Amino acid sequence: MSLHLGDTAPDFAVESTRGPIRFHEWLGDSWGMLFSHPADFTPVCTTELGAVARLGPEFRARGVKVIGLSVDSVESHLRWEGDVGETQGTPVDFPMIADVDRTVSELYDMIHPGASATSTVRTVFVVGPDKTIRLILTYPMSTGRNFAEILRAIDSLQLTDAYPVATPADWQPGEDVIVGLGVDEEDAARLFPHHRVVKPYLRLTGSPDRAPASA
């Protein structure tokens, strides 16, 4: 099954390190990040679990629930969490799905035979509160993910959901944004009175979620 941006994230019922989970029910009205790992007790994955655990407050501040997955069992995941805590200096504070029968991996097309016939590649799905897939990232097994970049992308997704803007290359929260192409100049002047026109198709404005500086 090939998933695309805007598709409804497939629902599933699984066992996890935090007990049984039905994905849509577990998400509720929150954003979610589902991320897969090739296998337990592997070096790159161990550092990734530690990175996400350390960033837990950042995900929670954005209203994002985090859930991991690999094709190993709950018992294996729990033993692995001990190694993560020992080597990465932080406990794993989010559930890990035990996808032993690879049901979720196949639903989300996480197994790429060119890389491995049995292990999931490093895939990230960001799911919106409406249960649609908002971001898909896939990394090879040899490359650890940059979760600071994933947080930056979530910041962009949440900002552009709330306002008719887009974010430019290398944007960071608080920096100028682009007035959306669907906003005509009359509306742009009303919504973003301090915007500046670089080209008719490239209009910049201060981030609308930040209060303007006082005079």
Q: Write out the catalytic residue numbers.
A: 45
Q: Is 43 exposed, middle or buried (CB count within 10 Å of its CB: 0-12, 13-18, 19+)?
A: exposed
Task: Check if the beta carbon of residue 29 is closer than 8 Å to that of residue 55.
Answer: no
Half-sphere exposure of 120 (CA within 13 A, CB side): 30
Q: In what order do the strands lie in the sheet with 196-199?
A: 165-166, 177-179, 202-205, 196-199
Which H or E run includes 64?
Answer: strand 64-70
SS3 108: coil
Q: How far, in Å, CA of 6 to CA of 83, rounded?
A: 37
Of 120, 81, 126, the C-alpha closest to 104 is: 120
